[in-house]
Structure 1
Amino acid sequence: MNYSDIDTRKKNIMEFIINEYLDSCNPVGSRTISKNSDLGVSAATIRNEMSDLEEMGLLEKSHSSSGRIPSALAYKYYAKEVLNSFNIQRSNEKTSSLTVRNERSGIKGESALSLACDILSESTSSVIVSSMERFTQPKIRKVEIINISTKTYVIVFVLDNLEVSSKVFSVDFDISSSDLKKINFLLNKLLSINNQDELTVEELDELVSSALNRDLIQYFLYLINKEYRGINDIKTKVTGLTNILDMPEYNDLFQLKSFLNLLSNEQNIKKIMDKKLKNHIEIFIGKEVGLKELSENSLVLTELILDNAYKIKIGVLSPLRSDYKKIISSLYNISWKLISL
């Protein structure tokens, strides 16, 4: 069945029920439609049309009343109609991309994505899932080991794109401040000469003074290389989890716990985000989201190139009963802001 095959009156009734249900979260009956719509037909006629829509799989009966609620299929048609209308509206506008990033011209990479997700979460009152993947491997420009407490240190990396990364580690011995200074000098010398490749014993012997333990230098190089290799891993993040506390769909403690456990698993996030997009924004409803536990949810997803260095995806994950107009508009606007940063 195609949405275009449904006659106009049935579409109007279905859309009225969806909009009413979005506002009230209560099943919608024929009398409500008859009194509050401009269909100009009796409640009996509306009941017949609602029965037809139910047979078509677009409406479902509520257990608590004679009213109807939208099905996942109805939300699918509705959300994609909203997206189509939005795309037509945008194509007719003369305005170009938003350039608000000029206000925060210093923010890049993961920080920019994190800020965008925070804004999107607040504007949509939804859970935001995101992923970030590098196109190319940046080089390490500088590294420094800093003592932060007894036998605990942090390695700070400055990459050639000026990003900063760090890793905390512990050892079973203390390193004097003078030795630490020498180690930092040697590590940066080794990195500049060898460009993150493995050093030969001869190169190491030539550079490392007898006052320092060669095994210690090798250990630090191992930590640096291990962290450096992980720079290209796909990073995922979930933002705005507390928003679900205001969603009636998660009033049940078991559902709430299940949802939180699901999104605490990074592999689940990667599976949700592992979709090829044909358009700037696409909508996935129910089973299309990719996990059976999220069959009562929707995902509005976009994919962007950020700073000519990252492929990022941002998705608004929400219940089927969602304000798709606001979600699509907010996601579109925030995506342009990121591109213009």
Structure 2
Amino acid sequence: MSKGVLLVNLGSPDSTSVKDVRNYLDEFLMDERVIDTPYLLRAFIVKGIILNTRPKKSAAAYKKIWWPEGSPLIVLSKRLQDKVQKQVSVPVELAMRYGNPSIESGLQALYDKGVTEVLLMPLYPQFAMATTETILVLAEKIRREKFPNMEFTILPAFYNQPDYIRDLSNSIKDSLTNFNVDYVLFSYHGVPERHIKKSDVTKSHCKIDGSCCNTPSKAHEFCYRHQCFETTKQVAEFLGLEEGKFSTSFQSRLGRDPWLQPYTDATIDGLAQKGIKNLAVVTPAFVSDCLETLEEIGMEAAHSFKENGGEEFLSVPCLNDGDDWCKTLSRWIDQWAFQNQESNA
């Protein structure tokens, strides 16, 4: 079999125009694994309410962080792809779950190169319904309909993989070199609490009560909350962070249903009000900087922190296309390709 790799990230609007942002939000929010309500209710919420107000606001936010080359998320993901491609011997394509380049176009590009076995690599360290799962479901649907002779191998969530923890920790350490940090906040993208319970393969373990994430269970393989706290724990241990000098929070909530807590915005304001002067925020749910890291954290949260009494705010860059991270991804790809060659020999 001829092998190839598909890197998959979240996605971005094609431009900062309100029309393109509306199209992107329509595709994103109508995903049943993002807003997991019955279709008619979801359509009413998204098309009847959100798309009448949010696109203009989101377009303005995208304009704040847009680069001359395009969306930072897309540009950084392409740089990652290019670097990785130069280090491996199999074809590497890039796709986005929402927007362009699409998963179908990425699989088509691999198919055109004769690829029949694909390593599908969702670029999410932690597993969640609204990220990894929706990628896998859509990719499988496209495979069945368009590329039935292809086979997939899935890269599991790598939230606790030693290589990832090392690269993330070292990138944070480098960013903190010239920053007199008082506190490190690990801010992850939020999800509704019900998503955690829906992803519980045991149907009984996850109670979101402060103890279940620390109690060993098969549920942890697909528990976003556990995986976020575990990433924080391992990075803090690697960096030697003192207890009481770091914590975990969740950002970007939508609607009135309970989402994972504590909330990032309230946490940042509270830290400033308690006398924390120099705050560093890390966003380990993302491997590439995007709207949520550059605007929501780097601009809005930074402003709020200082408004509440803080002084210095550092938004730590994501791994992006850092050399060590690219080497790690390339090594994972080579290990997969080599193992398959061995098994087929």
Larger Rg: 1
Higher strand share: 1
Which bracket does the TM-score occupy, shorter chain normalised?
under 0.3
Tell me the TM-score normalised to structure 1 length: 0.25
Tell me the TM-score normalised to structure 2 length: 0.25
